[in-house]
Amino acid sequence: MRKIFLRIMLPALLGAYFSTATAQVDKKVLNWYNSSKTGMSTEKAYKKLKNITPETVIVAIIDSGIDIEHEDLQGKIWTNTGEIPGNGIDDDKNGYIDDIHGWNFLGNKNGENVNQARLNVTRIYADLKPKYDAIDSADVKSEDAKEYALYLETKEEVESNRAKYEGIIAQTIQFKEQMLPMLPGMIANMMEVEEYDEKSLKKWKAEGAQQEQMKQMGLALLSGDLSEEAIDKQITQIQGMIDGHYNPDLNERAIIGDDVYDITDTDYGNNDYEGPDALHGTHVGGIVAATRGNGLGGDGVADNVVLMSLRAVPDGDEFDKDIALAIRYAVDNGAKVINGSFGKSYSSLQKEVYEAIIYAQENDVLFVHAAGNSANDLAINSNFPAVRYDFQELPFTHLLTIGASTRVHEKELAARFSNYGKNEVDIFAPGYEIYNTFPDNKYEAIAGTSMASPMVAGVAALLKGYFPSLTMAEVRQIILDSGDYFGDTYQKVPGSEELVKFDNLSRYGKVVNVKAAVELAKERTEAK
């Protein structure tokens, strides 16, 4: 599911919705994730690689699309040399016409694209509604009992969320119309001054949570982040969730015209690698591959990669069919690492996605997946693609599930939004205050396990390129074995104030360390 990243938080009434909002852009945090003090020691790793010429590794980015013309990604985009651009012919016979830099699984041959989409829970509800909406529970057949229970569950989730967000909009409008005009005077009275500016407000010491909240709103007001225009934009975004994510009547797949439940129906898509909103995918791609040391934005983790853009994540939940086909496309066209910064609570084609991940595994391709941003224990709440399936026959040997860490190692190492799981999340990586590429040659700091996952994808590609004799299974194990161990430290459980040993939040109790991974890769390569 695509997340909406914002720079500020509205008052407490919106706190739940904007719990994954990012901090304001602060260039002091530029490249912290590559540092040795709080990050992954990437810079120190490169000092150990000076005399090695790496092989180029293809990293597939399954996401919302990538701005392939971004200044910081030049020379970092994969090109399919088997295809002749613009001739309308499938030159390399891979089933995709003019797929020069990847493929867009959310479009049609006329160049039209899906942007807004429902969540999978809404799709399930919409699919089951005609069958069960008018039926009495007493009349449900025994063989339909499980499906009927799913209908009731999805109906409740969809309708309750629609009501919740409609309430948030009403409260936000009330805040804008009634409180916002009075806010400057209220803050001045609170400070006991006639007027104030950003400098004086920053210096002023708040007493208690209420004053601190007022102070933060005042700073947001002065910066423009709490202007009427900014609030209207947020209202529009929330309304978009009601009209898109939780709208049972939306038929987002109509412009494509395929059977979304038929994995063999593959004659769709186009070569629009960016799509209508490439914000998320461009940022993810930059974390992996943004040009290092050029003074533009943040540095990418890997200097030896090219990005394959596979657009399969709309503003809403991804379709399992698109994900399965994108994984197979990546494998068939030479990717050694696939990054999946997406996830959802419900999955309709679990077996097809599982089989695609196993297909990658059989071809020695590593799939790196974000753990999700709901502060959930994945032992209780799944984030699909799942770390295991009830029907699963083969163990995953080429899957990594990544939680998000912060710069603060004292009690707050796990980002407050990150999903976790003692046996479900493999390792953590930086995922908070990550400054990198945005479309149109811009740069922003955002947060999420969506940012942590490409950190690890970048490390995996780096290791494979500099130590090509390693298999991706070996690369995976090196990343896990070489991480910085924090397992014995007490950290807050994401979403709460409870302190537990970091070991309880992931399998290895570690944060990725690139320098240590390089050292271990060298050691294990020499031992072969």
Tens-place pLDDT, residues 153-164: 999 999 999 999
Q: Specify the range with the lowest mean pLDDT, choosing from 26-35, 259-268, 343-352.
A: 26-35
Is 63 among the catalytic positions?
yes
Render pLDDT for 426-438 as a digit per residue (tens, 0 to 9): 999 999 999 999 9
Domain ranges of the chain: 31-115+254-526, 120-245
Q: Tokens 């740069």 label which residue?
A: 443
Dist CA 27 CA 514 (whole Å): 23
The identity of residue 449, as a single letter, is: T
Render pLDDT for 123-150 as a digit per residue (tens, 0 to 9): 999 999 999 999 999 999 999 999 999 9
The active-site residue, picked from 70, 101, 245, 280, is: 280
Average pLDDT over residues 403-417: 96
Render pLDDT for 233-277 as a digit per residue (tens, 0 to 9): 999 999 999 999 999 999 999 999 999 999 999 999 999 999 999
What is the reported pLDDT for 4?
Answer: 36
The active-site residue, picked from 64, 348, 382, 450, is: 450
Q: Tokens 């994954």 label which residue?
A: 20
Is 398 among the catalytic positions?
no
Has residue 311 got a pLDDT over 70? yes
Average pLDDT over residues 349-353: 98
Confidence of residue 528 (pLDDT cuts 50, 70, 90): confident
The active-site residue, picked from 41, 63, 98, 315, is: 63
Confidence of residue 2 (pLDDT cuts 50, 70, 90): very low
The identity of residue 249, as a single letter, is: D
Record the pTM. 0.92
Render pLDDT for 358-370 as a digit per residue (tens, 0 to 9): 999 999 999 999 9
Is 450 among the catalytic positions?
yes
Has residue 14 got a pLDDT over 90? no
Dist CA 60 CA 437 (whole Å): 17
Has residue 92 got a pLDDT over 60? yes
More confident residue, 409 or 482: 482
Phi, psi of 186 (to 5 degrees): -65, -40
Average pLDDT over residues 386-403: 96
Q: Helices 183-191 and 208-223 meet at what angle, rounded to 10?
A: 130
Render pLDDT for 443-502 as a digit per residue (tens, 0 to 9): 999 999 999 999 999 999 999 999 999 999 999 999 999 999 999 999 999 999 999 999
What is the reported pLDDT for 5?
Answer: 37
What is the reported pLDDT for 37?
Answer: 82
Sequence-separated contacts (24+) of 249-253 with Cβ below 8 Å: 249/126, 250/116, 250/117, 250/118, 250/122, 252/114, 252/116, 252/117, 252/118, 252/314, 252/316, 253/114, 253/319
Has residue 18 got a pLDDT over 60? no
Structure tokens at 44: 């120190």
**Fold observed for domain 31-115+254-526:** Rossmann fold (3.40.50)
